[in-house]
Amino acid sequence: MSERAAKVTPADDEQDDDQITDSAAPDAVTEDDAAGGDSGSTAEPVTTGAESVVRALENAGVEYAFGVQGGAIMPVYDALYDSDIRHVTMAHEQGAAHAADAYGIVSGEPGVCLATSGPGATNLVTGIADADMDSDPMVALTGQVPTEFVGNDAFQETDTTGVTTPVTKDNTFASDSDRVGSDVSEAFALAREGRPGPTLVDLPKDITKGATDREPDAPTVPDTYQVQERADSEIVDAAAERIENCARPVMLLGGGVIKGEASEACREFAIEHEIPVITTMPGIGAFPEDHELSLEMAGMHGTGYANMAVTHCDTLIGIGTRFDDRLTGGIETFAPDAKVIHVDIDPAEISKNIHADYPLIGDAETVVEQLSEAVDSSPEAKKWRAQCQQWKSDYSMAYDAPEDKPVQPEFVVEALDEATSDRAIVTTGVGQHQMWACQYWTYTEPRTWVSSHGLGAMGYGLPSAIGARLAADDDQEVVCIDGDGSFLMTLQGLSVAVREELDITVAVLNNEYIGMVRQWQDAFFDGRHSASDYGWMPEFDKLAEAFGACGFRIDDYDDVAETIDDAIAYDGPSVIDVHIDPDANVYPMVPSGGDNGQFALTEDQL
């Protein structure tokens, strides 16, 4: 698997040409052009390690790569020059990682990002960690100083594999020009196999410059990597019996449902057996939220009715979820009366946080199909479904929007939803705006919700919109709902969107605060707004114009519908600076570690 020690080979380059930066290139080849060059490929034979790296990406069907040039990665960029892979030069390496991450979420295939050694590689780490927390398929390729300089504190040297080991599914220090292309092929295969995640290959400059005529192996995982596809049939039968005989069932769909292409199977199962459905935040879109069985998202800022259903169910069918703390609140109060059926492809997640009475290890789609075959009769749950509908009425997500107050953010999110198609893709940064985007947009399709969940990385929204746009179908709108604090962190990505002529719409919900921090300070720190007041924000509409994008501004309700229509109709990147009520808060809310059934609807209830 990962190599930790470098193989020292003579360097054939000068150190002073390892200290530079900046370039680009272009679309993809076939999967048959792989192992050993015996496939009848018409491609030019490889002559260097760098060309073998690029050939491995071509063989894997890679169409786009996101990155920033630099000295140690330069040989790979030179090889990209003659490739059909389209390289998108980002304005910051963090943006490259987030764009690749979003590309993987929307396309289902690993996104690829590149950076040079040292600061280039370390700038990728936030995006790699985000992909690791959310199990998103991604391949990171990082330049490294020549192997003879490794360990000598050379210019722009960092122990990249050491730094990223905790946040990658697998990483490799390439030590052989003949092998380096196959290292990349294996990294690509590992990123998408089983539970997806980020992989990394660190590429010393002498290895990528080194001579080789070796074609990379096809993208395959090592023989030692085993993934269990089907769950134990006896446990499946026992779980099926539990479902048949329960009275208050709930299906909880996590991000693994979408990554495992199990959304359709879950929808069919829920509808056939009339089981209410809730999702985690990463699972948004796995089940249509306009369906009568949908209770939408559960957890810290989930709907009241979803949290009531979790709290009072007697059977919880969790699929592709890791039961993280933002979902569960206090472990002892989460689904206290329920027997838990847990489906997950990763055995490490079973009973890690919530005890599984019926542990079903396997591929989500496969295991749901197993359950479908094993369940002979639907549970008698008519009264339960009626109760869930009553909770929907009791804990409605309705909100006030008085005309004599500043624009409410919920109104803006709903207006954006109404102005776009059901297949529109939403990306977000992290904060209050992220929660409003969860709560007030109606998601009906998988792979239309793109956000940073486990890591909660502010700044994710704009670069992820770039990756999402390139992965999306031409007829899908891409809308980034961002906060002023998040947008400020990565807004240099506007230069990329303008240069690449990407049709994305950014709506900045501007309250001149780090809003979620301000909300917590009001609730738990006596309203002491330490370092959360951002009253010095720029005028984002004018800033957008300076980048070459189209800028808009919303100050009152009369502006909302027409401005949104104009921004979405604009053929290119547009930014709407939406001045919202600075006092608006996100509710429902379950305090950290609290009881989901005791959610607050106002600050007084916290």
Catalytic residue positions, numbered: 93, 155-156, 205, 516
Q: Tell me the C-alpha distance between 189 and 167, whole Å.
A: 17
**C-alpha distances out from residue 510 to 362, 433, 561, 573, Å:** 44, 9, 17, 18
Of 139, 420, 119, 453, which is closest to residue 281 (Cα–Cα)? 453
| Among 497, 512, 453, 460, residue whose Cα is nearest residue 482 | 460
Gap between the Cα atoms of 357 and 379, Å rounded:
18
- Here the tokens at position 85 are 């892979």
Q: What is the DSSP string of 302-337?
A: S-HHHHHHHHH-SEEEEES----HHHHSSGGGSSTT
Three-class SS of residue 528? coil
By the 8 A CB rule, do 444 and 288 touch? yes
Rounded distance between C-alpha atoms, residue 144 and residue 204, angstroms: 4
Question: Can you say how many angstroms the Cα of residue 198 is from the centroid of all Cα atoms in its chain?
Answer: 11
Q: Does residue 463 have a cis bond before it (omega within 30 degrees)?
A: no
The C-alpha atoms of residue 418 and residue 441 are separated, in whole angstroms, by 9
Distance between CA atoms of residues 585 and 574, nearest Å: 26
Sequence letter at residue 239: A
- The 3-class SS string of 499-544 reads HCCCCCEEEEEECCECHHHHHHHHHHCCCCCCCCECCCCCCHHHHH
Contact in structure between 55 and 80 (CB atoms under 8 Å): no
SS percent in the chain: helix, strand, coil, step 5: 40, 15, 45
Contact 76, 68 (CB under 8 A): no
CB count in 10 Å sphere of residue 600: 17
Q: In this structure, which amino acid lies at residue 431?
A: G
Q: Tell me how far apart the alpha carbons of residues 350 and 342 are, in angstroms, rounded to a whole number.
A: 7
Q: Is 239 helix (H, G, I), strand (E, B) or coil?
A: helix
Strand order in the sheet with 277-279: 294-297, 277-279, 249-253, 315-319, 339-344, 358-361
Q: What is the CA radius of gyration of the chain?
A: 25
The amino acid that residue 578 corresponds to is V
Contact 437, 490 (CB under 8 A): no
Q: How many residues does the chain have?
A: 606
Strand, helix or coil for residue 240: helix
Backbone dihedral angles phi then psi of residue 295, each to the nearest 5 degrees: -110, 5
Torsion sign (Cα): 283, 284, 287, 291: positive
- CA torsion, ordered 330, 333, 335, 337, to nearest 10 deg: 160
Alpha-carbon distance 484 to 434, whole Å?
A: 12
